[in-house]
Amino acid sequence: MTVPLDVRNDIRSMDAGGVPRAEIARRLRLSRNTVARYADMADMSPEPPVPADRPHPAIDPHIGWIDDLLEADLGAPRKQRHTAKRIYDRLVKERGYGGSYSSVQRHVRRWRLERATGVRGGFLELEWAPGTAQADYGNFEAVVSGERLRLKLLALTLPHSNARYAVAGMSQRSECMCAGLADIFGWIGRSPRELVLDNATEAGRRVRGEVTESHLFSLFRAHYRMGSRYCNPNSGNEKGSVENAVGFLRRNLLVPVPRVGSLDELNALLRDGCDRLNAASRARDGRPVPEALAEDLAAMLALPSAPFDAVRWTRCRSDKRGMVTVDGRGYMAGPAWHSRELLVGVRADTVEILADRGRRVAVLPRAFGDGPAVRNPLSLVPALIARPRAFGESVIRRDMPEALVRAIDSLDAAGRRRVLRSISRAAAPSGFEAACAAAQRVIEGGRVPDDATVDVLARRIAAGRPAAKGGADLAVYDGFLREGGARAC
């Protein structure tokens, strides 16, 4: 039974408030098992909407045999490889298969897709109960790594104690807001019982008195078992605490315009500043904030055991270059994934691209605003291995050391393929830069790189243990390879 999000929130809110589960089941007209399932759920993070694997009793006993045929076909001429129809005929004749042809066809298609690597008037004074929080956004500017950026300040206040917290981000999209709130909750060590927001955030919208909450924020709220309330953005007194806090924190912590090396450094400064201001401030009743904050913390909720993954999943079709467009910005999956429907998970600082049944294609840094496509040089390597002669015009050249590019240019197609494959395999544990540096040193040592040598040397470089001056000492690797050859004989 699928339970709507608002009913899940009711179950978790009532369970957090101490309502017996039998009473929850009676009020919501649900079974006790359903109430227990959603009340005990540790993680409400959204999962990739990929179909779950299910058993196929007719074809499952033959999967290994089919996979062996397809694997052996990789060494056969293209026009002499098994089709799904030929595999089906052999299954019926040789193995007594009694299932359908469509099951065979689906498995063959899935196997080939998974292994595809080639290119194809006055205000009323309000009294706020302990444990209630308000959240709002403000704008500010900062110089990050030498670039002046327009950023968003997500502020959260506890009006009862007047405690104020803030984090900086690039956007106020729902995934950025949920990630920022999760950071603040972890900072406080508790989550609020109720969060007051307005239409300015992407948590929800009030239209003619009706609130429509975003799917991601509903999951976020259910994860932390908290309630929410939306007020009129034009009525400042409804959440005056956080609106005042945005201006207060901006004046006290962001003037003059901060100059930092990264967004993480900026958030560390904001955290230190908020802790300092909270320690020196007073609540509305005149008590020190730390004293009143103890009452807020006592009324707030314990954090869930599992962290919330603030991710917005969307389906995109890649273009002929293997690029998907999300929020107006291009992200390169790679030519091997051209003209395919891909699943894209958008987080506050990364974009994850999945294919088929959840197979990870790439994880790229999130970009905002206009600019070039975001890419990882490694996403281009499978296509270059399939077409090594295209290296001469590939954009990957700008990501490699010039000496390595010249060395690869001097090789024939087989040599290029060998170098690129060794870089691709070494980059997985050591990173692209270390793999390129290792391949270059092997070439400078007078040899064409191989997988084992480049991998070992790249790991040393990534660990901060570069080879001695004058290039890599490859004698140890030569000895290792000779020993391996002798044992093989």
289-303, 405-419, 468-482: segment of lowest average pLDDT: 468-482
Q: Which two tokens stand for residue 250?
A: 């901006």
pLDDT at residue 269, as a whole number: 97
Residues 209 and 280 in one domain: yes
pLDDT at residue 250, as a whole number: 93
pLDDT at residue 139, as a whole number: 93
**CB neighbour list of residue 378: distance below 8 Å, 6 or more residues apart:** 424, 427, 432
Q: What is the average per-residue pLDDT within 142-149?
A: 93
> pLDDT tier at 335 (50, 70, 90 boundaries)?
confident
Identify the residue with better confidence: 67 or 122. 67
pLDDT at residue 468, as a whole number: 44
Q: What is the extent of the structural domain holding 395?
A: 379-488
Length of the chain counted residue by residue: 489
Residues 324 and 414 in one domain: no
Q: What is the average per-residue pLDDT within 350-366?
A: 87
Q: Last residue of some domain: 375, 393, 427?
A: 375
Q: How many helices and strands (H and E) does the chain possess?
A: 17, 14
Tell me: pLDDT of 236 over 50. Answer: no
Q: Is residue 307 part of a domain?
A: no
Return the SS3 of 55.
Answer: coil
> pLDDT tier at 201 (50, 70, 90 boundaries)?
low
pLDDT at residue 171, as a whole number: 92
Residues 363 and 386 in one domain: no
**CB neighbour list of residue 43: distance below 8 Å, 6 or more residues apart:** 223, 304, 306, 308
pLDDT per residue as tens digits for the range 418-469: 999 999 899 888 888 999 999 999 988 888 888 898 999 999 998 886 554 4
Burial class of residue 266, CB neighbours in 10 A (0-12, 13-18, 19+): buried
Residues 323 and 205 in one domain: no
Q: What is the average per-residue pLDDT within 186-192?
A: 96
Q: What is the average per-residue pLDDT within 305-309?
A: 95
**Phi-psi map region of 166: left, alpha, beta (phi>0 left; psi -120 to 50 alpha):** beta
Q: How many Cα atoms are found within 13 Å in the side-chain-facing hemisphere of 463?
A: 9
Q: Is the peptide bond before 159 cis (omega within 30 degrees of 0)?
A: no
> pLDDT tier at 116 (50, 70, 90 boundaries)?
low
pLDDT at residue 26, as a whole number: 94
Tell me: pLDDT of 124 over 60. Answer: no
Q: What is the average per-residue pLDDT within 254-282?
A: 95
Residues 157 and 262 in one domain: yes
Q: Last residue of some domain: 352, 375, 398?
A: 375
The answer to whether the beta carbons of residues 356 and 328 sit under 8 Å apart is: no
pLDDT at residue 127, as a whole number: 65
Q: What is the average per-residue pLDDT within 303-310?
A: 95
Q: Is residue 188 part of a domain?
A: yes
Residues 264 and 368 in one domain: no
For residue 324, which phi and psi values (nearest 5 degrees)? -110, 150
Q: 377-401 as b/e, with b when 16 or more CB fall inside 10 Å?
A: bbbbbbbbbbebeebeebebeebbe
Q: What is the CATH number of the domain that holds 216?
A: 3.30.420.10
Q: What is the average per-residue pLDDT within 122-128?
A: 55
Q: Last residue of some domain: 299, 323, 340?
A: 299
Cα(441)–Cα(434) distance, rounded to whole angstroms? 11
Cα(310)–Cα(313) distance, rounded to whole angstroms? 10
Question: Which residue type, as a one-letter code, is found at position 39?
Answer: A
pLDDT at residue 119, as a whole number: 45
Q: What is the pTM of this model?
A: 0.73
Q: Is residue 124 part of a domain?
A: no
Q: Which two tokens stand for residue 385?
A: 């291995």
Q: Is residue 52 part of a domain?
A: no
Residues 250 and 108 in one domain: no
Q: What is the average per-residue pLDDT within 212-240?
A: 80
Q: What is the average per-residue pLDDT within 132-159?
A: 94
Residues 158 and 238 in one domain: yes
For residue 351, which phi and psi values (nearest 5 degrees)? -125, 120
**Helix 21-28 and helix 5-16, axial crossing angle in degrees, nearest 10:** 150
Please give the tally of structural domains in the chain. Answer: 5
Residues 369 and 429 in one domain: no
Give the mean pLDDT of the chain: 86
Residues 348 and 365 in one domain: yes
Q: Which two tokens stand for residue 463?
A: 């660990």
Cα(131)–Cα(483) distance, rounded to whole angstroms? 68
Q: Is residue 243 part of a domain?
A: yes
pLDDT at residue 238, as a whole number: 56
Tell me: pLDDT of 97 over 80. Answer: yes
pLDDT at residue 487, as a whole number: 45
H or E, element range at 73: helix 63-73
Q: Is residue 49 part of a domain?
A: no
Cα(91)–Cα(108) distance, rounded to whole angstroms? 13
Q: Which two tokens stand for residue 317?
A: 């079709």
Q: Which two tokens stand for residue 117?
A: 């690597």
Q: What is the average per-residue pLDDT within 9-14?
A: 92
The answer to whether the beta carbons of residues 345 and 352 sit under 8 Å apart is: yes
Q: How many CB atoms lie under 10 A from the CB of residue 341?
A: 11
- β-sheet bridge partners, residue 342: 316
Tell me: pLDDT of 125 over 60. Answer: no
> pLDDT tier at 471 (50, 70, 90 boundaries)?
very low
Q: Detail the DSSP E strand segments found in 214-311.
A: 227-231, 259-260
pLDDT at residue 73, as a whole number: 86
Cα(387)–Cα(375) distance, rounded to whole angstroms? 19
CA torsion angle 456 460 463 469 (round to 10):
-160
Q: What is the largest CA-CA distance in the chain?
A: 94
Residues 316 and 452 in one domain: no
Residues 156 and 262 in one domain: yes
> pLDDT tier at 296 (50, 70, 90 boundaries)?
very high
- β-sheet bridge partners, residue 207: 210
Q: Which of 26, 12, 73 is nearest to 228 (CA)?
A: 12
Q: Is residue 183 part of a domain?
A: yes
The answer to whether the beta carbons of residues 252 and 244 sit under 8 Å apart is: no
Q: Which of 243, 138, 135, 245 is nearest to 194 (CA)?
A: 135
pLDDT at residue 123, as a whole number: 46
Tell me: pLDDT of 211 over 80. Answer: no
Identify the residue with better confidence: 474 or 454. 454
pLDDT per residue as tens digits for the range 42-94: 888 888 887 777 788 888 899 899 999 998 888 777 778 899 999 999 999 99
Cα(98)–Cα(162) distance, rounded to whole angstroms? 71
DSSP calls for 371-438: -SPB--GGGGHHHHHHSGGGGGG-GGGGGS-HHHHHHHHTS-HHHHHHHHHHHHHHHHHH-HHHHHHH
Q: What is the average per-residue pLDDT within 371-389?
A: 85
